[in-house]
Every structure is written in structure tokens, then in C-alpha cells.
Structure 1
Amino acid sequence: MSRLPSGLRARLVFTFTLVAVAASVIVATIGFELAKTALVTRAENSSTDLVTRELGRITFPVGRLRQGEAAPTTRELSAIGRVLDGPNRSVFIEYGNLTYANGPLSMTDIPNELSGRARSGVVTQRKVIKGELWLIVGTPVFRKEGTAAAEATGLRAFVFFPLRDEERQLDALRGKLVQGSVSILLIALVVALVSARRVLLPVRRLSAAAQALGQGRLDTRLPVHGQDELAELTARFNDAAAALELSVSELRALEAMSRRFVADVSHELRTPLTAMTAVADMLYEEANHLPKAPAEAVRLMLNEVARLRELVEHLIEVSRFDAGTATLNVEPVNVADAIQDCLEMRGWNDGVRVNASQSLTVNLDPRRFDVIVANLVGNALKHGLPPVLIGARGTENGLEVKVRDHGQGIPPEALPHVFDRFFKAGARGRSQGSGLGLSIVRANVHLHGGTISVRPQDPGTLFTVWLPHQ
């Protein structure tokens, strides 16, 4: 089943051409039928006039024939036939059982209906005989003397007129109409294409302008021509683009202020945090010598200071990505050694199993790779269950690292949001994490030009990082 064209240009051309074709077919059909009717009517009138006129000129004795008198002879029937005979005609004369016929046609070629109607007056009928169309004129032969009423003679004449000329004229007319329809179709197609182009040109400009807006060129505007609906639409587009440009400019300014504020606050917090950390380290050493209640308070404060320090470091890292100042310092790195150093530095060796080739060396930023591994493994240890598995292997296009835990996993509705900033799913929402770790992982992966994905396992969760060759 064929489908209609889907594009606006194609639909306009299709509709315009379809209307033009339908109109030309209707006009051609009506014109052909009118011409056919006129030709047939003219042929019938001229043939009946000819037969009536020729029969009216009969003056030999058979014209004085009355019913009941002696039947006409075959010679007399032949005389009538010769009066009606002519080029390409066939004549059939009937009187009782006597008949006269010339030409290839006979009484069997005369329709019964026509034969019956020919007893009362002049009648005509078209019939295809031996592959050719004929007009048959049937009429009774009357005798008229002076002013007396016409009397029936009992004679019936049938004359076959070929309609070859009329058929040739109709065939020629049909060919002309077909040529005219084809010409109209071509003209309609050209007009439709030109009209569709003129109509759709403003639409294409609007589409290109909308695409430019989507690509960030907010100063895009279109000239307004005329006062029609498309001109009004163009003006509305320009107004919308101007309003969008203003709103985006304001949002960008607010976003830049927000980023500067976060960066400034994070840096300002670093100094007091450094002092607090130094004091916290001293208090940590003395906590075991304090009474139980003060010791618990000191340990709580130390945990919160560590959490605040982690949050500030994450905010500073995020502000670098937002400001576009984060850069890569790529160097050859032994992947197995880098993962092992990351685990040893944080005391995670006992809870993690590593599967990586000792000969696997890849060009990447070691500090950012350490951040990626530390955040993924830290999340697995905090929120999952052992064993935590790390797999690293070289691929044809880069490095693939997988981190899996065997915990309860992440709820399916939370999977699309795990890399969002400050997002915590389920029980993680009550955890001490900042909610920025996975978003920082994704930013570091993207800075390398790589990808990161998360999939549920049975049991647990699997994170897959792919970093291309640098």
C-alpha cells in the first residue's frame, strides 16, 4: 500500500497536481462526450434525411403500390435499393418474403428491436458488426399522391451507414484531449513546484533560524516581508527570539554569579577548615583520654569536620568544571599500579578485589583517574556489600574499567539520576556523602572524552567507565 508524501512541499505539489489532473480529466471527458454526441447526432440526422429524401424521389410504378395489389417484383425492389445505395453503404429491402440486399450485410445483422420499431416510422440504431461500427436506418416506405395522406406500401428499407469517419474524428479528438491533458499536467506540475517553492521559502527560513537558535545563536532574526500570515509568523518568531535571548542572557549572568559565589565560598572556607583540621587532629589524639561524653562529642565533631572538608573539596572541583578551567595532564600510567595505589592510600585493600594486567599502560591523567576510581570504589564500599570487584582491560579503542558491588543495588527509578549533583537515592539520602561524587566522576570521564554507565546486577550495581586513547 503506497503512502502519501509526508513533506509539506511534496503534499502541496501532489495536491495541486491532483486537482489540476482531476479538472483536466473532467473537462476532457465532458468535451469528448459532447463532441461524440454532436457527431453521432449529426450522422443520424444526415442519414435519416438522406434516406427520407431518396425514398421521396421514387416515381416508378412501385411507388403506386397499394396493399392487396400485386406484389412488387425483385427488379422493382432492386430499383429501390439502387436509389438508396451509395459509397460504403449496405441496403436491405423487405416486402413480405421478398428481400433485396447488397453488400456484405444481411437481415440477420438487423437488431430485432430496430426491425420492430421500423414498422411505424424512421428509426436509427448503432451496432458493431464484424468489428466495425455501423449506423442502421430503418423506415417503412410510404406512397403519397398530391395532397392525399401518405399510405403504407408494406415495404421496409434498412440502410447501413459506416461510421468510420466519425470514429476517426473521435480518435483524433481523443488524442488531442490526451495531449492537452498531458500539457496541462506538466504546466500544473511546474506551477505547483514554483508556487510551493515561493510558499515554503519563508518556512525554510524559519526552520533554519529555529535551528540556529537551538545551536545557541540567539541573535538570529529574520526580515519581515509583506503583511500576510507568514509575515506575521516571522514577526512573532523575531519577538520570541528576542525574548529568549534576553532570558538566556539573564540566566547566564545569574549562573555565572552563582558559580563565582560557590567558588569564592569554597575557597574562603579552605582557610578556617585547615585550622579546624589541625585542631581536630590534636583533639583526635586526646579523645581517648577524655570522659565518655566529651569523647563522643569530639569524635562527632571530627566526623563533621571531615565531611565538611570533603564537601568543600568537591565544591572546588565542581567550580573548576563549571568555569571551564579543568585541564588534563596526560602521561603514561600503569593501570594496575594506579588502582593499587588508590586502594592502599585509603586503606581499602582488604575489601576490594582487583583484576587488571600488570602490563596494561594507558595515557591518561593520573590524578583524575585516581578520583574516578576512589569515588566509584568508595560508593561501592559505603552503599553496597562485599565483595567489591574492579576489572580493568585494554580495548581496541581505549581503557575499560568496571566496578561492581554485591549490595541491594540502586532503585530502578533512581538510575537515570545517579550522576546528578546532590542526588542521593534511598538509604543513601541519609548517608554522610556530599552527593557530588558521581557527578565529579562523570565530569572527569567526559574530560578524558570517555563515557560512564550504570546497570543493575543480581545482586548489586555495575559501573562501567570507558576512556579513549589519548
Structure 2
Amino acid sequence: MTLGGWRAWGGLRARLVVAFVLVALVSAVTATGLAYRESRTAVLDRKQDAVRSDFRGRVEQVAADLSMPPDEVSLTRFAVSVAEGLGDAVVVAEYRSLTASSDASADRTRISRSLRDAVRDRNRMSLQRVERHGSPYLVVGTPVTFASGPPSGLDVFAITSLRAEEDDTAAILDSVRDGLLPVVLLAAVLALLAARTVLRPVRELGRATRRHAAGDLTSRVAAPSGRDELADLARDFNRTAEALEKSVAELREQEARARRFVADVSHELRTPLAAMTMVATVLDEDAGQLPPDAARAARTVSAETARLARLVDDLMEMSRFDSGAARLNLGEVDLAETLRGTLALRGWTSRVHAQLPSGLRAVVDARRVDVAVANLVGNALRHGAPPVSLKVVAAGERVTVEVADRGPGLPPEVLPHVFDRFYKADSARARSEGSGLGTAIALENARLHGGSIDVANRAGGGAVFTLRMPWRRGCGEGDA
């Protein structure tokens, strides 16, 4: 069965149908059981009353002509005479040690010892239902008494089959049982109709919720009618969606204004920063000819100006990512040579152990790869411990660039925030050598290539950043 099939069977519609069918089935079975019990009791009671009444009347009528004490012949004649008025009943008469029956072949074991004792001890009519060889019987016993004199000692028993009554009640049970299937089918149809009525607004809410999750905040459910719980839920959803749309619109507008502000400020700072950089460069070059305090101030101004320039450049870069203006300038390069140039340009060749296979050509934006790897390596050099390693591996359809160090690693609570903008692991550190945007810029450049960057702690100590990009092979590159 498919996932959709399992979901359909495990959904609310299926549960409603199953609940309806179970309720109908339990109700029908309960009603059938009660009807069978009541009808069986009524039929048997009616049969018992009729047999008891007929048996009493017949015994009184025939006993009037019986001479006491009877012999075996007269006792047999008496039993036959009583049985003649009782249909197919078998009559057994017992007087002390004599026993006579209207049917010599009848099974007298159907008269139990307990029934005999009840008739003799209580001196009144008693009855008992017994079953022999799968057939039910009603056995009625009564003592024969005369108007005058002590108890006669003559006991008479009538054995009547209850097969017809059992068949009648069984027929009732069969007819009710045959009606279970239509009842269950009707319950299933009613359940489907009820589920359709109940689930329609739920499905509409589900579709509207999915559209909201996909970003369509204008989605609403149809104007509900009525005052039931589902209508209240639909109205609450519409009110919530309207408030959410308004809040998100305000947040997006504020975010857009903030991004425009950063971009505008960064752009406006570039012109004065260019002048400040030129002056700082002159001061830095002439610092050796200045007094010690002035020289120290000149070098500080030069360093801070350079840092501010880097921060402005990073902000400008992030504003291009945020506005969607960043584009790839793809070209075929030797990836190993590009990364060697990244290390050499920044004076890191001797500080980084590089494993760069030769002849690895790929189609990438060399400038953005350079920026991404430089940010990762610079971060490892600043915050990690030597040796820092840079390794490139090409496997299958992806190229992996791994930057690792042997420092203390990153605390677990820091790992989820490494790529957040301006995030600092040490809250007491008011400023850092970088802009706080290096890893964020590296991640954006990786995403622009269709790749990603992961960070984790190494088992032997230190952190490892892994840049993964699709391998767009150069024209001279063979299959991996």
C-alpha cells in the first residue's frame, strides 16, 4: 500500500467511518442479543405455561377414574390416557416401585433425580429444562392428590420436546443477523456523508494553511456560515491570517528599510573612507619620522581605517546578497591554483598546510571562491590553533573544500550560530579583528554556487568547516 493509501486509511475520514460502523455494529449486536433473549424467554414461558396448564388439567381428569393403589396395567393405562391429551408428550407415572410410560421406548433418564426429589418433597408441580443428545426438552412433574386422604404417592411426569420453540427463536436470530449487513452498510454510507460534511471545512483549512506555509499570506477560507465549532474555527483562522499578513508585511517593510539604510550608509561611507585611507597610508609611511606617540597614533589610525574599510566592503557585499543583486561570474579555473593564490595573496602559505591536487579544473566564480575560502581560513587562523589545514577533494558530482584547525573547537551552543551575522561566541569580546560577517559571506557565496558550508568539531580537537559545491567540470576534465 502506498504512503497516500496509508494516510487515507489513517485519516479522520477513515476513523469516522470506522467509529460509525463500530457503533452501528455494537448496537445491532446488542439489540440482536436482547431481542433473542427476550423472544426466547417469552416463547419458552408461553410453552411452559401451556404445558403446565394442560398437564395439570389432564392429570386431574384422568386421575378421577384411577383406582388406588394401581397395578402395572392400570398405571400404564393411566400414563397413556394422560398422554393422549398432551400431543407428542411422553408421560411417565411412578408409584412406589412401579413405573409406567406412555411410550415404552422413551428415554426416562430425561427425568432427573433433582426433579423427582422436588416433586416428592414439595408435593407440588415442578418443571425443568434438560438437553439430551443436542435436543432440548421440558420435563414437568406433579404429584397426584385426591380431595380426601393422605398423599397418594403417585407422581406423574410429562416430557415435551422444545425443538419447535428453539427453531422459532433461532429463526428470529437468523433474521436479525441477516439484517446486520444492511445496517452496517447504511452506517458506513451515513458515516461517509457525515465525514464529508465535517471534513469539508477542515480540508479547506488545511489547503489554506499549506498556502500560508508556501508564502501566500492572502489565502483565506470561504466565509463560514452557522455557529458551530468548525465555523468558529474558520473565522478564527481568517482573523489570525489577516493579522499575520499585516504583521509580516510590516516586518518585511521594516527589513527592506533596514537593508536600504545599510546599503545607503555603506555607499555613502565609501567616498570619505577613500580619502581617509589615502591619508592614513601617508601617515603610516611617514610614521618612522614622527615622535613615538604620534607614530603610534598614526599606525592606529591606519589600522582602524583599514578595518572600517573592510567592514564597509562586507556590508556592501551583504546588501547585494539581500537584494538579490549578487551574480556569479563563472569561468574555467584550476581550483588548486586559485586556492594557492588565496593563501599567497594574504601571506598564509607558510601558516597553512595545503593539500591541493593539481589539474583540478572547474567552472566557478574565482573571486567568490577566493572570498569564501579566505574567510574560512582567516577564521581558523584567528580563533583556532595550528596546524591549520586546507584540503580539496573531488568526488562524484561535488567538490569539497575542508578547512580545519587544532584549537579547542567550538562550544555546542555556538555551533548553530556560527553563520549568523555579527554573532560573537564570546559575549565579553566587544570587538574582533574581523567584521563578524566573514562566515555569513562565505555561506552566501557557497549558496550562490548551489553549495553549502557545514561546521563541526573534530574528534581529535579543533573545528572543521566543509565547503561543498557542485562540480562543474572544465572542458579538459575527465569523469571522476
Query: What's the TM-score, normalizing by structure 2?
Result: 0.90
Note if 1:451 corresponds to 2:447: no
Percent identity of equivalent pairs = 41
Q: CA deviation at 1:105?
A: 4.0
Output aligned runs, 1:421-436, within 5 Å.
421-426=421-426, 430-436=431-437
Write the deviation string for residues 357-382 of structure 1: whole angstroms up to 9, x where unpaired. Answer: 10212222111110111100111111
Kindly provide the amino acid, as one letter, of the partner of residue 81 in structure 2: V
Question: Shift of the alpha carbon at 1:108?
Answer: 3.4
Query: Is 2:140 the partner of 1:137?
Result: yes
- Could you say if the C-alpha distance between residues 223 and 61 of structure 1 is closer, same or farther in structure 2, counting changes exceeding 3 Å? closer
Shift of 1:151: 7.0
2 CA distance for matches of 1:352 and 1:305? 27
Give 1:337 shift: 0.4
Q: What code does the residue aligned with 2:363 have? A: N
- Does structure 1 residue 111 correspond to structure 2 residue 115? no
Check 1:60–1:245 CA distance in 2 against 1; reply closer, same or farther (3 A cut).
closer
Alignment partner, residue 354 of structure 1: 354
| Corresponding position of 2:295 | 295
Which segment is superposed worse, 239-248 or 11-20?
A: 11-20
Which residue is 2:77 aligned to? 79
Q: Are the structure 2 counterparts of residues 125 and 377 from structure 1 closer, same or farther at C-alpha, using a change threshold of 3 Å?
A: same
Amino acid at match of 2:49: N
Query: Which residue in 2 is equivalent to 1:177?
Result: 176
Cα distance, 1:6 vs. partner? Answer: 6.6
SS at match of 1:419: coil
1:403 match: secondary structure: strand
Deviations 1:145-204 (A, max 9, x none): xxx569743321111111111111121111122223333232222212221221121112
Alignment of 1:11-410 (within 5 A): 11-58=15-62, 61-62=65-66, 64-65=67-68, 71-85=69-83, 88-101=88-101, 102=103, 104-119=105-120, 120-143=123-146, 152-228=151-227, 229-410=229-410
Rounded to whole Å, the distance in 2 between the matches of 1:52 and 1:74 is 22
How far apart in 2 are the matches of 1:222 and 1:81?
87
Larger displacement relative to structure 2 (107-116 or 8-17): 8-17
> Per-residue deviation at 1:54?
2.2
State the one-letter code of the partner of 1:121. Answer: R
Once residues 63 and 216 of structure 2 are traced to their aligned partners in structure 1, the CA distance between those partners, rounded to angstroms, is 103
- Cα distance in structure 1, aligned partners of 2:300 and 2:435: 17
AA paired with 2:465? F
Choose 221-230 or 124-133, whichever is displaced more: 221-230
Distance in 1 of aligned mates of 2:377 and 2:209: 45
Deviation at 1:340, TM superposition (A): 0.3
Conservation of the 8 A alpha-carbon contact between 1:398 and 1:466: yes
Give deviations 1:91-118, integer Å, cap 9, x for gaps: 2211111111325544433222211222
Q: What SS does the aligned partner of 2:222 have?
A: coil
Aligned-residue offset at 1:333: 2.2
Structure 1 unaligned residues grouped into runs of 5+: 66-70
Distance in 2, Cα, partners of 1:60 & 1:261: 126
Contact conserved, 2:399 with 2:469, CA < 8 A, in 1? yes
Q: Does the 8 Å CA contact 1:449/1:468 hold for their aligned counterparts?
A: yes
Which shows bigger deviation, 372-381 or 108-117? Answer: 108-117
- Three-state SS of the structure 2 residue aligned to 1:142 is coil
Where 2:408 maps in the other structure, the secondary structure is: coil
Q: CA deviation at 1:88?
A: 4.6
Return the alpha-carbon distance in structure 1 between the equivalents of residues 378 and 225 of structure 2. Answer: 65
CA–CA distance in 2 between the matches of 1:368 and 1:280? Answer: 28
How far is 1:125 from its partner? 0.7
Q: Partner letter of residue 31 of structure 2?
A: V
Contact 1:453 1:463 in 2 (8 A): yes
The answer to which of 198-207 and 82-91 deviates more is 82-91
Shift of 1:350: 0.7
Instruction: Name the CA distance, whole Å, in 2 between partners of 1:108 and 1:252.
Output: 97
Amino acid at match of 2:71: T
Which residue of structure 2 aligns with residue 68 of structure 1?
none
Spell out, residue by residue over 1:432-451, the C-alpha distance to the aligned partner (whole angstroms, 9 max, x if none): 21100000111111111112
Q: Are the aligned partners of 1:133 and 1:164 in contact in 2 as well (CA < 8 Å)?
A: yes
Q: Distance in 2 between matches of 1:188 and 1:60?
A: 64
> RMSD value over aligned CA atoms?
2.1
Partners of 1:428 and 1:409 in 2: CA distance: 18
**Paired letter, 2:355:** N
Offset of residue 349 of structure 1: 0.6
> Alpha-carbon deviations, 1:269-305, whole Å to 9, x = none?
1111112222222222111121111110011001101
- Are the structure 2 counterparts of residues 104 and 127 from structure 1 closer, same or farther at C-alpha, using a change threshold of 3 Å? farther
Q: Is the 8 A contact 2:63 2:78 kept in 1?
A: no
Q: Once structures 1 and 2 are overlaid, which stretch shifts more, 21-30 or 423-432?
A: 423-432
CA 1:179 to 1:274, structure 2 compared with 1: closer, same or farther past 3 Å? same
Task: Pick closer, same or farther for the CA change 1:346–1:103 going to 2, 3 Å.
Answer: farther
Please say if residues 368 and 444 of structure 1, whose CA atoms lie closer than 8 Å, have aligned partners that are also in contact.
Answer: yes
